Structure 1
């Protein structure tokens, strides 16, 4: 009996697959059948955040930095030699002293003796002058009685040189007494002005020589802050007469603690720095040690200086200016355009830009966060951001305290 071929089932399945493929190909090529069409492409415009701005007037706000320095700082030195006999307890670091306060007393017995000696020498010089004046008067009388005509051959006859010498001796004695009294006075070390003691270098019993350091003081009347500004900032300040009048206000802030103090401009410097080519504005805070907290000499501060009122400026968030220094805005056809911009000043996260004249005529929509991929003429969909103003700010400064917020979903 013959067995069936073992490949029979496989060949049958292959035959069926071949038939199915042939039939599918025949039907797909029949007239009227069309290949499937792809869906039409849709152009998607990216959304961009914009703020609508119009030119307005704003008061310039300038920033500068500097270190507070005492109005006066002095190193006390001994004017005479001697031993320290007494010290005022207030002559210690951190203590406040008034002007003319006695800080230290040196041994003065030697200087008192020198004053007494100078007084004796002065008295003797006065007596000698009186005697010489009498001798001169007698010499003139004798010359007159002699009957000789004209002047004597030598001024010694009338004792004129002797009189001049006596007068000079008197003047020298007077000067010596004044010097002796001045040295005696210098044994008393006094505070030259209202001050805070920075350091003391002597103790009771210390033997000091003339010129030796006794201590250091700084004045308490006011501190000065020297702030260097570039020419572009000076152009936004009022006139120098107004600045030098001493009434122009400034706000100072500690860069570390954020403490604030109110000060004023006291003067302007008349030269440029050789290195930075900048000019300095000198600010002051009165009675710095009585402030809360005290403004101590050496504190590094940020100065906020109001300037002149500038017209035709846009107020924009700082993020609106690209890293390449451009502002992007929308044309009427909702496409992008840009121009290079330099902020006139910045304040509270805002930059203030003077727009090109054609853009200042009507309100414009400016991008708040431009990307590097943006190109001129690119079609976009704008999303308007509404500015909100801080209600706690005074009305005349509200334009300088505007924040831009995304609309709530």
Structure 2
């Protein structure tokens, strides 16, 4: 009877051990542990149930890639977009009417200041000048005669005054005719490059009609805008970095030389103008430009790769690694540029930050540092 009771107890122990093993995941559970149950009999044949033994395996820490934070001299950098413009630009136009007799330039070629670009027919203007010249000579002769007669008493002062007025009128008429004749030669006001002409020899030019554009592009202007909040950050003489789509891998530099005294009331923006050298004519007026204005130094700042940033609602955190464990740190960001970001608060200058694998990491958790994967 007693022996049967012991056997029943042993059976119950085995059932309990089996249930424990099942609940604990005896066959490679979540934590990799195993449970072994055994029954022993004592000298009297009584069965003894061994307590379940569990050995917990070790889980591999999550792998992460890291980078070392660095410090750098930071300056105020403001970004905008703008448009390149000629240093000087003018639409060459006729100032007198006339038929075009010659075109003395090649489109797209450089010309010198005061060189004749277009000549208008000057037959009429030359005739007008000759007529005015004859009238001037007659007026000069009449004035000399009136002056002589006035001195001898044979003439009156009034006759001399009338002769003087006629002489002045003749001189003005002659000068007007000379200017009109000279205006038939249309000249370049400065060194530059002529554009594409919209005229032909034999065409009749009207006053004010544009014949060709002249652009001075060995130096270019850059017009751009910044929000009014940046007024104190912008000064004449500051350097601007310029990138254009035509040369995406190149960076050009210019210098701010003028700031409009008026703030645009509609856009609440400052109008700024910079100048940049263009000796080889690589850049052209009208190009769209991305602008970065480099201002005063802000001292040393901590810089980390942008991939280390982890959003947490309205906050931003980074994971650092110390003694093999991850630590979550709340940070305040500064300027972003070229795949890096400034850290204004919350991170030591010599910190090691996690740049990949943050999704598997918790605060205080051990991590395994691995080398970044090389792109295939």
Same fold per superposition (TM over 0.5): yes
Does the C-alpha gap of structure 1 residues 369 and 274 become closer, same or farther in structure 2, counting only changes over 3 Å? farther
Alpha-carbon separation, structure 2, partners of 1:169 and 1:348 = 78
Q: How does 1:385-396 map to 2 (within 5 A)?
A: none
Residue of structure 2 equivalent to 1:127: 141
Q: CA RMSD in A?
A: 4.0
The superposition leaves residues 38-87 of structure 1 with CA deviations (integer Å, 9 ceiling, x where unpaired) of 25898997665554436542355554432222122222221112222222
Residue of structure 2 equivalent to 1:66: 82
Does the C-alpha gap of structure 1 residues 220 and 84 become closer, same or farther in structure 2, counting only changes over 3 Å? same
SS at match of 1:223: strand
Residue of structure 2 equivalent to 1:114: 128
SS at match of 2:304: strand
Residue of structure 1 equivalent to 2:176: 179
Alpha-carbon separation, structure 2, partners of 1:235 and 1:381 = 47
Q: 1:316 aligns with which of 296, 304, 328?
A: 304
Contact 1:261–1:285 at 8 Å: present in 2 too? Answer: no
Does the C-alpha gap of structure 1 residues 112 and 342 become closer, same or farther in structure 2, counting only changes over 3 Å? same
1:183 positional shift: 0.8
Residue 255, structure 1, aligned to residue 254, structure 2: no
SS at match of 1:273: coil
Does the C-alpha gap of structure 1 residues 379 and 163 become closer, same or farther in structure 2, counting only changes over 3 Å? farther
Question: Structure 2: which 5+ residue stretches go unaligned?
Answer: 1-6, 25-32, 34-53
Residue of structure 2 equivalent to 1:389: none
Q: How does 1:187-206 map to 2 (within 5 A)?
A: 187-206=184-203
**Higher-strand-fraction structure:** 2
Contact 2:318–2:354 at 8 Å: present in 1 too? Answer: yes
The superposition leaves residues 296-343 of structure 1 with CA deviations (integer Å, 9 ceiling, x where unpaired) of 222223345443332131111123344556243559885423134332
Residue of structure 2 equivalent to 1:406: 372
SS at match of 2:345: coil
Q: TM-score, normalising length from structure 1?
A: 0.66
Does the C-alpha gap of structure 1 residues 171 and 263 become closer, same or farther in structure 2, counting only changes over 3 Å? farther
Alpha-carbon separation, structure 1, partners of 2:151 and 2:360 = 110
Alpha-carbon separation, structure 2, partners of 1:108 and 1:118 = 15
Residue of structure 2 equivalent to 1:98: 112
Q: TM-score, normalising length from structure 2?
A: 0.71
Number of residue equivalences: 331
Alpha-carbon separation, structure 1, partners of 2:256 and 2:173 = 44
Contact 2:228–2:263 at 8 Å: present in 1 too? Answer: no
Alpha-carbon separation, structure 1, partners of 2:161 and 2:319 = 94
Residue of structure 1 equivalent to 2:20: 36
Q: How does 1:377-392 map to 2 (within 5 A)?
A: 378-381=363-366
Does the C-alpha gap of structure 1 residues 70 and 383 become closer, same or farther in structure 2, counting only changes over 3 Å? farther
